[in-house]
Amino acid sequence: MFIYRQLGKNTEICPANSQLIFMIKKIGVFCSASDNIDAIYFEKARQLGKWMGKENKVLVYGGTALGLMEQIARAVKENGGNVVGIVPVKMKENNLESTLSDQTIEVGNLSERKDLMLQKSDIMVALPGGIGTLDEVFHVMAAATIGDHIKKIIFYNINGFYDPLWKLLNDMKTNHFITEKLSNYCNLANSLEELKLFLR
């Protein structure tokens, strides 16, 4: 007897009594487009991008030439990885599109970008970011709660950035506003070494 499991566009087939192993290849990254944030965030984004490139991972990201987006894309490229940029048409019209992508996909708006990034990624990572990043994170988590997908968000908790949000999510769970285990939808990584464990 064999079992089948759909993960993105990848289908794993194996004997029912064996362990199913799925190799993470395409990593979707949500992050800040601000250039006016502390240097520690740029440094950590570059470190992650360097590791992804050396591990031959594919970066799937928002495709703009700003903030942490540009830093992680550059580090991936410089270390041999591939970059897929998904860019809303308005950002392209405003000359905000990065030139680092190996593949650029133009979409009509931010909603389409979120859906396509999710579709093309095996797992999602949230670096520190603002309103747009939070919108993307909760879009992915909400879709998981109704069974649209089984992909997780990993919060990369650089400099304790996500501590307040993580407390809020756990308070929501404690008070039964979130009914399933948080780990069904998301995890927290406090260091690059912890993050790597989720991305192997």
- Report how many domains make up the chain: 1
Q: Comparing 15-29, 39-53, 159-173, which segment has the lowest mean pLDDT? A: 15-29
Average per-residue pLDDT in the chain?
A: 91
Query: Residue 22's pLDDT is what?
Result: 67
Is there a domain that residue 5 lies in? no
Is there a domain that residue 186 lies in? yes
**Percent of the chain residues past pLDDT 90, beyond the cut:** 88
Average pLDDT over residues 138-165: 97
CATH number of the domain bearing residue 55: 3.40.50.450
Is there a domain that residue 145 lies in? yes
Query: Residue 3's pLDDT is what?
Result: 33
Supply 89's token pair: 């048409």
Q: What is the CA angle 77-114-138, rounded to 5? A: 115
Interval 65-103: pLDDT, tens? 999 999 999 999 999 999 999 999 999 999 999 999 999
The answer, yes or no, to whether residue 120 has pLDDT greater than 50, is yes
- 105 in Cβ contact with 86 (< 8 Å): yes
Query: Residue 145's pLDDT is what?
Result: 95
Query: Residue 133's pLDDT is what?
Result: 98
Query: Residue 21's pLDDT is what?
Result: 57
Is there a domain that residue 1 lies in? no
The answer, yes or no, to whether residue 140 has pLDDT greater than 50, is yes
Is there a domain that residue 182 lies in? yes
**Percent of the chain residues past pLDDT 70, beyond the cut:** 89
Q: What is the CA angle 70-199-14, rounded to 5? A: 135
Is there a domain that residue 9 lies in? no
Enclosing domain of residue 147? 24-199
Is there a domain that residue 10 lies in? no
Kindly list the distances between the CA atom of residue 175 and the CA atoms of 13, 171, 179, in Å, as whole numbers in the listed order: 39, 6, 9
Is there a domain that residue 54 lies in? yes
Residue 137 or 10, more confident: 137
Interval 175-189: pLDDT, tens? 999 999 999 999 999
- Whole-number Å distance between alpha carbons of 83 and 58: 6
Interval 2-33: pLDDT, tens? 333 334 444 343 444 444 456 899 999 999 99
